[in-house]
Structure 1
Amino acid sequence: MRFVVQLHRARRVHYDFRLEMGGVLASWAVPKGPSLDPKVRRAAFHVEDHPMEYVAFEGVIPAGTYGGGDVIVWDAGTWVPYKDEDPVAAVAGGELHIELYGEKLRGKFVIVRTRGDEWLLMHKRDEHAVEGFDPAALPLSVLSGRSSDEVKADPEFLWRSDLPAARAAIRLRGRVEDPQARGEAQAREEAQAREEAQARGEAQAREDQKAREDQRAREDQRAREEALAQLDGFGESGTWRVFGRELRITNLGKELFPGRGREAPVTKRELLRYTLEIAPAVVPYLAGRALNLHRYPNGAGTKGFWQKALPGHAPEWLPRWTEPSSGSDYLVVDEPAALVWAVNFGGLEWHPWTSRTERPERPSYALVDLDPGDDTSWDDLLVLARLHRTAFEHLGVAARAKVSGRRGIQIWVPIAEGPGFDETRAWVERLSRSVGAVVPELVSWAWEKAERGGRARLDFTQNAVNRTLIAPYSPRPAAGAPVSAPIDWDELDDPGLRPDGFTIRTIGARLAARGDLFAGVLEHTQKLPPLR
């Protein structure tokens, strides 16, 4: 089967990555281009299938039409699937493993859906891997040897999407005028006008939807700012209106976290402010899930306790779920005000279930907890985390890591609904035992901490119903109010990374600058591959 990668300079420059399957070219737009570097994960956006006639197209697409711009055949060759017997079904399932035999691209790749039409394209670690590979360093067409500028200045072909695919590539250089084409010109222009009108209508609908979403966002931001201003205006207590909900808050000057270094202690008022500000980022990880609270009513310097069932005095408006076996009501944070209530109730740590309330026996995450022992250094833990990173890259599994806010690192693997906790626990155990076998001097599998000899535990047992790991952006009960912060995999190589380096006073600026690095785990379409 054939593949082609076309360097396409349209409204935005990108590389069109196309694989022959099912009689068409399955296609992804890759903004930064494919890479042979196994450490690089390229964003790819699944677009409509293209006709096979497009596989060798090099030329220009008319301005004002879909994809208008110049196109060169950046790479071409053949490909085979090496794990999936049915590539079309594999794409539908969200994960395709391929081996390319091109002039620039060779070796094994995996392309994995993360959410909607968003995918990741990655090269495996094989004999064709090239660290630091830059597609921009190889700018010429493998078909003509010309650059994009040369093709734009003197194109040989023009692609007309209004014509049948067999006749869409119109020769421009050395072309003999076609009388039939002249006769069809009017019809083509009319068809093009209709298509352009339809495209304008669709674009307007998208703009209208975006305008409505922006308006809602502005309204939410105004409501948040009003609530924050009201909070700042209180003395030690008040009735706080948060997105239409009324909360009685007290002891706002109470110190909940000791200061770190020369910093002032963190008060209840500051924690409530942080909670409301971070709610848009954290609520998606809590919504639709029972929440276990680790409560510290008297502050992080005291002994905390677990609160799972809602107390009888909880307000009626709180979203909740009745756990079938106990009949107890659990808090479900489906709105920001519910999280604010939980913090006002003394819930300093937020632990969502890994399954949703509608199917509590079916997890939507597999969890890897790198739990350091007394003698585990931070460098030792980074070794274990990097080994897991390599394992996930090799398997083509999408996963996200975060520092725990204490001493550890935790990894969440989003999965499609299907396997039960026994299966996910067994999968994580097998993965972690393979990693642990590489550095046995760093790892203990003993259950009791006293029997581990100070070594780390790769804890797979959290993969069980009502067993949890701390939510992203949740505070931890320690000086300075550190938070469990999502990180990019590349940050495992940053000498400045620390497990408790982000606090409620610093994480907001990081989130604004880098976005939510954990967002990929919210797409639950991935199936866990078998481990040999």
Structure 2
Amino acid sequence: MTEVPARKLRRYQEMRDFARTAEPAGGAGQGRGGRRFVVQRHRARRLHYDFRLELDGVLVSWAVPRGPTLDPKARRLAVHVEDHPVEYADFEGVIPRGEYGGGDVIVWDRGVWCPVDADPAAAIEDGTLHFDLEGEKLAGRFVLVRSRRGGDKEQWFLLHKQDDHAHPGWNAEDHPRSVKSGRTNDEVAAAPEALWHGDRQAPEADSQVGGAFPAATAGELAALDDLGAGGRWSVAGRDLKLTNLDKALFPAADGANPITKRDLIRYYVSVGPVMLPYLSDRPLNTHRFPQGVTEPGFWQKVVPAHAPEWLHTWRNERAKRGETRRYVLADSVASLAWLANYGALELHAWTSRATDVDHPTWVLFDIDPGPATSFEEVLELARLHRTALDHLGVTGRPKVTGQRGIQIWVPIAPHLTFAQTREWAETVSKTIGRVLPDLVSWAWAKDEREGRARLDFTQNALNKTLVAPYSVRPRVGAPVSIPLDWDELDDPTLAPDRWTIRDVRARLTERGDPFKALIGVEQELPKL
């Protein structure tokens, strides 16, 4: 326990990929006199509670499967794990699946601790540490006792002493909410972007905790459920007039109830904090189905005259006669609720920002299957994109469309023109197409492709768009376009319309947002 913090954190850092994981890496600025403690409820492969004491510039840590207790007759197994950086004491969010500790984390309790022993580091080395806690849930005298030494994970027991804070039968699971946000693990998993921005290093990310895109609160969702067929509703500080909330927009599928406008609004305001980073500051093209998906829909770009004054918009000063001059900029869950009430089921955002429309921040590859293309063949083509990008040293991620295809999204630094990104994507696509020529056609019209797939690089153009991550698609069952990790292309159960608005929350709880690792990445495209 006498090593400097940087050396002590080496094992922690070796076990994590900070390009993907929304955790602080640790570094300078960690004090050595702190006595904070934190307990994080962590749903990874198994639920457990991470019990952490600040000592000598790090968080000394134990994993407690059943959680701490105030019951003096109970003893809790505590597995000694690697030290963590002190910034981790405030972490609440989602660690992507596939990374070490993948799952959702809340700050279950926190406060200060006071060691009884004069030298707590020596006491831990000797195998018995007595200390007092003063937290929001935990308080009183505790002791950690090592029961078995050796191997990577030492086994200890965590006990509460018989004192004024003792509480027979006290169970951590009876107190599931975060002391930081008041949220449960489910609520944090459904909206992790509201809590931690993983594309920033610890100090900057910590300043953003609470989210640029706050989610609808439990009270606001309850008010939506109680509203009746329509009326005034307030969400994220904005007042909306909602109409025809019980109107079925998607017919019943597989024995489930039809999906109503209320269901659609609820979905978008719940998933909004995860979705909005891909929409914010980008002109929006919407596919509207005000009568539901059983009736023809239509595309709308222009902002209607009845739009509320608080809705953020962008004026295209270069628009010619007949072209759209004003677009919606979706930047809050309130704007998503307004769009859903307006019948905008499907959302497509520009690949460039309103502040710099001539330079895209994404390069897109669209695997557009033909009538004779099987999904397994779509997967073969997607895997070739994975191989090509890996060979080029370029970061990207795939996304199922919610219909039949797969798209590949590649984040880039915003200084290339659309002509340059289109040329680059065309070269990559045609190289991939030469590997499986029997599956690919370059014909524009579908009836000229002889049933084969098209690798469409032409979406890399101003005001050409693909469906946004987490957007609903206008099909029976309300499937959703879902970002993937590359390894999911090898999942035999994968289907392009596997997820609907009814199970995206469970998906986010299980894996988080795979595209989160791409947010803010400004990479250069290699010359081909």
TM-score between both structures, scaled by the size of structure 2? 0.63
Q: CA deviation at 1:30?
A: 3.4
Q: Match of 2:45?
A: none
**Which stretch of structure 1 is more off in the superposition, 325-334 or 227-236?**
325-334
Supply the RMSD in Å over aligned alpha carbons.
3.4
**C-alpha contact 1:10 1:68 (8 A) present in aligned 2:** no
Q: Match of 2:348?
A: 351
Q: CA deviation at 1:359?
A: 0.9
Q: 2:328 aligns with which of 326, 331, 354?
A: 331
Structure 1 residue ranges, 4+ long, deviating more than 6 angstroms after superposition: 40-49, 206-212
AA partner of residue 313 (structure 1): H
Q: CA deviation at 1:268?
A: 0.8
Q: Match of 1:156?
A: none
Q: Match of 1:10?
A: 8
Q: Match of 2:473?
A: 476
Q: 1:275 aligns with which of 262, 268, 274?
A: 268
1:391-427 CA distances to partner (integer Å, 9 max, x unpaired)?
A: 1111110001110000000111000011100000011
AA partner of residue 439 (structure 2): L
Distance 2:455 2:432 in 1: 9
1:59-108 CA distances to partner (integer Å, 9 max, x unpaired)?
A: xxxx9656899xxxxxxxxxxxxxxxxxxxxxxxxxxxxxxxxxxxxxxx
**C-alpha contact 1:31 1:44 (8 A) present in aligned 2:** no
| Percent identity (aligned) | 48
**C-alpha contact 1:361 1:421 (8 A) present in aligned 2:** yes
**C-alpha contact 1:370 1:409 (8 A) present in aligned 2:** yes
Q: CA deviation at 1:306?
A: 0.6
| Cα distance change of structure 1 residues 220 and 323 upon mapping to structure 2, 3 Å threshold | closer
Q: 2:487 aligns with which of 483, 486, 490?
A: 490
| Cα distance change of structure 1 residues 237 and 68 upon mapping to structure 2, 3 Å threshold | closer
| Cα distance change of structure 1 residues 47 and 529 upon mapping to structure 2, 3 Å threshold | farther
Q: CA deviation at 1:210?
A: 8.6
Is it true that 1:245 corresponds to 2:238 in the alignment? yes
**C-alpha contact 1:291 1:308 (8 A) present in aligned 2:** yes
- Pick the structure with greater CA Rg: 1
Q: CA deviation at 1:226?
A: 1.8
**C-alpha contact 2:250 2:292 (8 A) present in aligned 1:** yes
Q: 2:414 aligns with which of 409, 412, 417?
A: 417
Q: Match of 1:225?
A: 218
Is it true that 1:31 corresponds to 2:15 in the alignment? yes
AA partner of residue 402 (structure 2): G
**C-alpha contact 1:30 1:44 (8 A) present in aligned 2:** no
Q: Match of 1:55?
A: none
SS at match of 2:403: coil
**C-alpha contact 1:31 1:43 (8 A) present in aligned 2:** no
Q: 1:288 aligns with which of 277, 281, 301?
A: 281
Q: CA deviation at 1:235?
A: 1.4
Distance 1:345 1:282 in 2: 18
| Cα distance change of structure 1 residues 274 and 48 upon mapping to structure 2, 3 Å threshold | closer
Distance 1:210 1:466 in 2: 32
**C-alpha contact 1:365 1:413 (8 A) present in aligned 2:** yes
Q: Match of 2:108?
A: none
**C-alpha contact 2:278 2:349 (8 A) present in aligned 1:** yes
Q: Match of 2:36?
A: none
Distance 1:395 1:207 in 2: 29
Distance 1:445 1:211 in 2: 47
| Cα distance change of structure 1 residues 367 and 329 upon mapping to structure 2, 3 Å threshold | same
- How many aligned positions are there? 359
Q: CA deviation at 1:513?
A: 2.1
Q: CA deviation at 1:260?
A: 2.0
Matches within 5 A, 1:98-497: 216=210, 220=214, 224-326=217-319, 328-497=325-494
Q: CA deviation at 1:244?
A: 1.6
1:91-146 CA distances to partner (integer Å, 9 max, x unpaired)?
A: xxxxxxxxxxxxxxxxxxxxxxxxxxx9xxxxxxxxxxxxxxxxxxxxxxxxxxxx
| Cα distance change of structure 1 residues 217 and 391 upon mapping to structure 2, 3 Å threshold | closer
| Cα distance change of structure 1 residues 219 and 480 upon mapping to structure 2, 3 Å threshold | closer
Q: CA deviation at 1:245?
A: 1.1
1:451-487 CA distances to partner (integer Å, 9 max, x unpaired)?
A: 0000000000000000001011100011110000011
AA partner of residue 386 (structure 1): R
Q: CA deviation at 1:335?
A: 1.4
**Which stretch of structure 1 is more off in the superposition, 365-374 or 510-519?**
510-519
SS at match of 1:486: coil
**C-alpha contact 1:425 1:460 (8 A) present in aligned 2:** yes
Distance 1:426 1:211 in 2: 39
AA partner of residue 306 (structure 2): H
SS at match of 1:239: strand
SS at match of 1:519: helix
Q: CA deviation at 1:246?
A: 1.2
Distance 2:203 2:408 in 1: 38
- Mind listing any 5+ residue stretches in structure 2 that lack a counterpart? 1-5, 29-53, 61-94, 96-124, 126-200
- Mind listing any 5+ residue stretches in structure 1 that lack a counterpart? 1-7, 15-28, 35-39, 50-62, 70-117, 119-152, 154-205
AA partner of residue 15 (structure 2): P
Distance 1:450 1:211 in 2: 53
Q: CA deviation at 1:209?
A: 9.2
1:236-273 CA distances to partner (integer Å, 9 max, x unpaired)?
A: 11111111211111111111012221111111111111
SS at match of 1:390: helix
| Cα distance change of structure 1 residues 440 and 209 upon mapping to structure 2, 3 Å threshold | closer
1:338-374 CA distances to partner (integer Å, 9 max, x unpaired)?
A: 1111111110000000000011111000000000000
1:313-354 CA distances to partner (integer Å, 9 max, x unpaired)?
A: 111111000012227110001111111111111100000000
SS at match of 2:371: coil
Distance 1:302 1:44 in 2: 46
**C-alpha contact 1:30 1:43 (8 A) present in aligned 2:** no
Q: CA deviation at 1:11?
A: 4.7
Higher helix content, 1 or 2:
1
Distance 1:454 1:247 in 2: 46
AA partner of residue 500 (structure 2): T
AA partner of residue 243 (structure 1): A
Q: CA deviation at 1:43?
A: 9.9
TM-score between both structures, scaled by the size of structure 1? 0.62
Q: CA deviation at 1:524?
A: 3.3
| Cα distance change of structure 1 residues 44 and 340 upon mapping to structure 2, 3 Å threshold | closer
